[in-house]
Amino acid sequence: MLQKYPMTLEGKKKLEEELNYLKNVRQQEITEEIKRLRKFCDFEEDKCFSESLEQQSLVRERIKDIEEILNNIELVYSNSELHEAIIIGSTVKFMELPNGSQEIYTIVSPVEANPSKNKISVESPIGRGLLGHKESDNVQIETPAGEVNLRILEVS
């Protein structure tokens, strides 16, 4: 059975943009560089040539990975009017108890996760712990750093 990749529409669009760039820009740049280097190098000793071949291989592998993901996406939608509970795609504002610090995160698929942009994986301890809860719920979540207590302030 093929693996399904739950993903928001925004995440799908970003992957499609990356795939387009890799196929239509980056791959062409590397091909041109390899052609240029072939004219002037000793293939066995030229580090630039071998690095270009390695880059080409990495780009092809990433293209293959993105195509695999895009072919097996399970789109998920967040609609606060239809879903009061936290689901993948929900943006959640919560307060850490007892210190009162507030955070806002969007729950996304593991492929889309980017903590520096406040996007956490549904498979992370916090993401998994928030699923199914609603505004004003108090949630205790076990993380590798210890237990955290959160109060959910908003779900959108």
Q: How would DSSP label each residue in 111-143?
A: TT-BGGGTEEETTSHHHHHHTT--TT-EEEEEE
Residue 59 lies in a domain: yes
Per the structure, the complete domain to which residue 116 belongs is given by: 91-155
Residues 58 and 120 in one domain: no
Give CA–CA dist 132/110, Å, rounded: 18
What is the distance, to the nearest Å, from the Cα of residue 87 to the centroid of all Cα atoms in its chain? 16
Q: How far apart are CA 36 and CA 149, in angstroms?
A: 59
* CATH number for position 56: 1.10.287.180
CATH of the domain at 101: 3.10.50.30
Cα distance between residue 111 and residue 25, in whole Å: 23
Structural domain contains residue 82 = no
* 68 shares a domain with 12: yes
- Per-residue pLDDT tens digits for 42-95: 666 667 778 888 999 999 999 999 988 888 887 776 554 455 788 888 999 999
Last residue of a domain, one of 75, 103, 137: 75
| Least confident window among 11-15, 52-56, 120-124 | 11-15
